[in-house]
């Protein structure tokens, strides 16, 4: 039996792919039950609480917004860890603190079940197309059972060992690097614009040559065009992730001045009411700092 908790922009397509890959019966739970309607039409069973998602020995996936949400569905009054039991596995696909993951892993072990960190790289369209990159860490027996399933949900699975927090450290490192890349593009774009050079044309050239990778191509184009929609990852969630990066770095006495810069840029975006925009909207701050109008089509736009 399988369970899935969290049917947001990322969770829904992953849960749908589980169903379509034949991983049934699938019990699903979401705070807003209406989001499960299409999954129920395709054969999923809607649970009334997180606890109802799990039975002894099940594999339960969670894709939730933050540490508190994960802890609530696992350990709360209606949490599922007490029901998961021997041979049960919790596959945590959320971006959370490594310290939280390690604490949860210990609590799972006390209930004779396993916790696996399995955060993903990729936006909702990649989730729907089974093109996610999945980081994985935790106990070997649980990974052996779950990895074949994960390979049906993404284009690659990367194993980072038995430390349940390791996959989450890898995810935070990646999100930091994405944020840093966006800040670099934002600053370069402003310099281009203030020198009268076509910012879109230059960023396209760089994305096709020196910086030929999805982050620079996709986010770079969005930043050059001053687009913050469609929203694949909210700026508010990016701020949460950079908070986790800074906290994780501080816990192991690792200075990360660039991470703090990106975090401050995201905090400024939140203060300006941009939390619901795509997190590439952090780049609007660089335009404002240089005296440019950040609104598309505004002063200085090419």
The H or E element spanning position 225 is: none
Preceding omega of 3 cis (within 30 degrees of 0)? no
Using N-to-C axis directions, what is the helix angle for 166-194 and 257-271, rounded to 10°? 70
Residue among 256, 226, 259 nearest 241 (CA): 259
Tokens found for residue 214: 């999805």
DSSP 134: E
Number of CB atoms found within 10 A of residue 195's CB: 8
Q: Which residues contact 287 (CB under 8 A, 6 or more apart)?
A: 186, 189, 190, 193, 226, 293, 294
DSSP 32: S
Q: Which of 35, 38, 131, 171 is catalytic?
A: 171
Number of CB atoms found within 10 A of residue 153's CB: 23
* Sole residue written with tokens 């694949």: 232
CA distance 275 to 234: 6
Q: What DSSP letter does each residue of 14-60 carry, written as one string?
A: HHHHHHHTT--SEEEE-SSGGGGHHHHHTT-EE-SSGGGG--TT-EE
CA distance 8 to 32: 10
Tokens found for residue 239: 């701020």
Clarify whether 171 is annotated catalytic.
Answer: yes
CA atoms within 13 A on the CB side of 236: 10
Q: Facing residues of 92 across strands? A: 62, 117
CA distance 16 to 133: 17
Catalytic machinery residues:
171
């Amino acid at each position: 039996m399988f369970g899935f908790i969290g049917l947001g922009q990322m969770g829904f397509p992953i849960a749908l792919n589980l169903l379509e890959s034949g991983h049934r019966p699938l019990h699903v739970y979401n705070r807003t039950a209406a989001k499960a309607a299409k999954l129920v039409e395709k054969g999923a069973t809607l649970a009334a609480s997180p606890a109802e998602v799990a039975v002894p020995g099940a594999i339960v996936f969670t894709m939730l917004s933050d540490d508190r949400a994960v802890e609530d569905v696992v350990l709360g009054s209606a949490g599922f860890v007490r029901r998961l039991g021997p041979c049960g596995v919790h596959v945590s696909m959320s971006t959370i603190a490594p310290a939280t993951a390690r604490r949860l892993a210990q609590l799972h072990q006390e209930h004779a079940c396993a916790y696996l960190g399995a955060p993903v790289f990729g936006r909702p369209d990649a989730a729907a197309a089974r093109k996610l990159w999945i980081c994985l860490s935790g106990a070997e027996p649980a990974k052996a059972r779950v990895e074949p399933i994960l390979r049906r949900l993404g284009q690659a699975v990367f194993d980072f060992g038995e430390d349940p927090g390791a996959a989450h450290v890898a995810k935070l490192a990646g999100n930091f690097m994405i944020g840093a890349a966006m800040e670099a593009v934002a600053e370069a774009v402003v310099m281009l614009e203030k020198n009268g050079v076509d910012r879109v044309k230059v960023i396209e050239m760089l994305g096709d040559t020196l910086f030929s990778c999805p982050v620079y191509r996709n986010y770079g184009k969005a930043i050059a065009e001053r687009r913050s929609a469609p929203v694949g990852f909210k700026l508010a969630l990016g701020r949460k992730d950079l908070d986790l990066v800074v906290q994780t770095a501080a816990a192991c006495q690792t200075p990360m001045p660039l991470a703090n810069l990106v975090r401050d840029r995201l905090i400024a975006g939140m203060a300006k009411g941009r939390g619901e925009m795509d997190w590439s909207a952090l780049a609007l701050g660089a335009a404002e700092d240089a005296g440019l109008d950040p609104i598309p089509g505004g002063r200085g736009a090419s």
